[in-house]
Structure formats: structure tokens, C-alpha cells
Amino acid sequence: MRRRAFTLAALALLGMGLAACGKKGPPVAPERRLPAAASGLRASVDGDAVVLSWINPKSRVDGTRLRDLTTIRLHRRDEAEGMPPKSAMVSWGQVVGYDEIASIGLEAPGQAVVRGENVQWVDRKGLSFGRRYVYVVTALDSTGRSSTPSERLVVTYLAAPGAPRNPAAAPGEGQVRLRWDPPASLIDGNALRGDVRYEILRATGADAPLSPVTPQPVAATSFTDTGLENETTYRYAIRAVRSEGGGVARGEASTPVAVTPVDMTPPGPPANLVVIPSATAVRLSWRPSPDADVAVYAVYRATGTGGLLRIGTTAAVTTVFIDRDVTQGTRYRYAVTALDRARTPNESARSNEVTVQVP
């Protein structure tokens, strides 16, 4: 009896276990439920800081959606020159051989800039010019499970150049000519060295942020920016970029300068000027200038063989002018010009000249 009861109990327990396993499916290994690693880790040396950015993971290692990402940890290692970067491995929540320099809670990111999955962090903590630093990022979910480290990023912390000096801008027709002097030194006080080039920064108006004009920095200390809108004010600044030993460092931008390209092209002249005299007035009419930016027409008159003098203007909507300040029996010469809408108006060449005598 005892043996039969024991056998029945064992079979019942086994059946329960099989039933439970059948409902849940095969178990998932714990490491498959970890957050995936952060990606796209990048950095630039700007002034006295290393500016880092990366993309937070949106899934777990097994491909399921990561809904409870809570914390991002940034780790750094000071690496000796010429040595291969140390491998990164998580043990008990820490990356072995690396210092944790930031723990960013995504609900209150503090100094970090978080836009969706994109994160930016500025590192100024204990950096020394000329040293090489290795960075990795880890991601933690709400239970404290950590991803593997991101790909390692090696940054050479170069001393950035100072700001370029004496920036100057000269306006032209749809363009601006820029020039400047190189920085006096590096920001650590040492003489300027390495390959130093220049980023041209531009903004439209007084409040828009400055952004690079060219895809790559230029080597010269002058630059002509073309394809601009006349009568629009632009702001420019110049930033020096130093490259040496595989590292790149951007300095502070120069003092901004404002400049407005100007329209320097005169419109085409009016044509077919016709003058009809009467005893008290002279009526002028003409064919308009072919250009669309004409603001006014100017009428010129001379007496006898004297020089032509401007006697009046008329808005560009009309091509007729009546000169009532005339004297009977006097011979006059007339011509007409067009002036555009530029801040300093450009005047066309004169129309055909017509001579008439007031009856």
C-alpha cells in the first residue's frame, strides 16, 4: 500500500510539472533578456571638453522591445599612448578597468541632453591635454540588468586652438568676402602646431544659430561665400580646427561679424523715349526697363548744349512724365534712367536722348 501511494504521488507531481512546462514554452536564458548595447558612440574635442554622443537601445538582446530603459552609464579609461585599448567587460554592474564618470537617469537626465534615443554628454572631468581616453556606454533596465558595453571609442585629448583673430567681412554682389588672422596660440598656452584649418560658421539674422558653411574646414585664412541673397544680413564667425596624431580638436569661435550683400547690378535702361511739346508743358513717354526690380524712373533735362540735370522722378508703375516748368521758344534735351530697389539704388544707363523746342 505504501509503495502504491508513493508511486501515485510521484506520477501526480510529474504530471503537474509537464503541464506547467507545456503552457510556458521553453525557458529563456537570462542573458537573452538583457538590454541591447548602445550604438553610434562618437566624440569631438571642443575647447576644453570632450563632447560625446550615442544612441540608446530600443530593444533587448532577444529582439523584444525594451520598454523600461532607465539609466545610461558612461565609463572612461585613461590609456597609455601606443597601447591597444583595453577590452570592456561588465562584472557586477561595473565595466572592469574603467571608471564610471556619469550615471544618467533618463527621467531626470541632469546635464545630459536627451532627444529621443539620442544622448549628448560633455566630459570635462579630470582631463589632461595629450592623454588618450577610451569610452564605453552601458544601458540598464528597471530591474538593474545591464547591457554589454558599447563599442569602445578612443579619443586623443588635444589642446584646441584659440579663437581666430581680427575677423573681417566685405559685402559684394550676392557674396561676402571673409578674412581673419590665425589664433595666437593653443588654449594651453603653447605655440600653434599641427594641421590647423578653419570652419566658416554662418547664420541669417541676429538670433539664428551659427552652423558650418562648407563640408570640410578650409586651409586658407580667407573665404568667399557665394550664392547669397542681396539685402539680407548674415552673421559669420570662424573656428580653428587642429589635427595631430590622429586626434582632432575644435577651438572657440571668433567674435561674430555681420555683413549685408548688396545689389551692384544696374537695371537695363528705358528705351524709345518720345517727347511731345505744347505751349505750357512737355509730355514724355518711354518703354520700361526690362528688369523687374525697378523702383523709379528719373527724368533728365538740359537747355541748349548744357549738361543733363535730373528734374524729377516717377514711380515704376508709370512710364509717363509731364514737364510743366518750360519756357516758350526754348530748346530742351531729355533722357530717362531706371533706378532699382537696392539699399543704395543702382541707376541704369540713359535712354535715347530727344531734343524738342517748346512752341
Q: Where are the domains of the chain?
A: 33-156, 165-259, 271-357
Fold of 271-357: Immunoglobulin-like (2.60.40)
**Sequence-separated (6 or more) residues with CB below 8 Å from residue 159:** 129, 130, 186, 187, 188, 190, 242, 249
152, three cell numbers:
569602445
H or E stretch at 119: strand 118-123
* Mean pLDDT, each 10-residue run in order, the chain (359 residues): 43 41 53 90 95 97 95 93 81 90 94 96 94 95 94 94 97 96 96 96 91 95 96 96 92 96 94 96 97 96 93 96 95 97 93 96
Question: What would the CATH number be for the domain defined by 33-156?
Answer: 2.60.40.10
What integer pLDDT is reported at residue 12 of this predicted model?
A: 42
**Any idea what DSSP says for residue 129?**
T
- Look at residue 177 and give its three-state secondary structure: strand
Q: Which of 195, 183, 186, 169 is nearest to 239 (CA)?
A: 183
Chain centroid to Cα 6, Å, comes to: 79
Distance CA 292, CA 100 (A): 65
What is 165-259's CATH topology? Immunoglobulin-like (2.60.40)
Name the β-bridge partners of 50. 45, 123
Q: Contact, 175 vs 228, CB < 8 A?
A: yes
Radius of gyration of the chain (CA): 38
What pLDDT is attached to residue 189? 94
What pLDDT was estimated at residue 19?
41
Sign of CA dihedral 224, 228, 231, 235: negative
Domain 271-357 in the same topology as domain 165-259 = yes
Backbone φ, ψ for residue 11 (5° rounding): -65, -35
- Inter-residue contact 298 to 304 (CB < 8 Å): no
- Please return the burial class of 109, using the count of CB atoms within 10 Å of its CB with bins 0-12, 13-18 and 19+: middle
d(CA 172, CA 191): 35
If one counts every other C-beta atom within 10 angstroms of the C-beta of residue 131, the result is 15
Distance in angstroms (rounded) separating the CA atoms of residues 251 and 217: 13
**Residue 143 and residue 185: Cα distance in Å, rounded?**
50
pTM to 2 decimal places: 0.72
Among residues 337, 287, 343, which one has the least CA distance to residue 314? 337
Contacts of 160 (CB under 8 A, 6+ apart): 45, 46, 47, 48, 186, 187, 240, 242, 249, 250, 251, 252
pLDDT at residue 245, as a whole number:
82
Q: Contact 232/261 with Cβ under 8 angstroms?
A: yes
pLDDT number for residue 26: 56
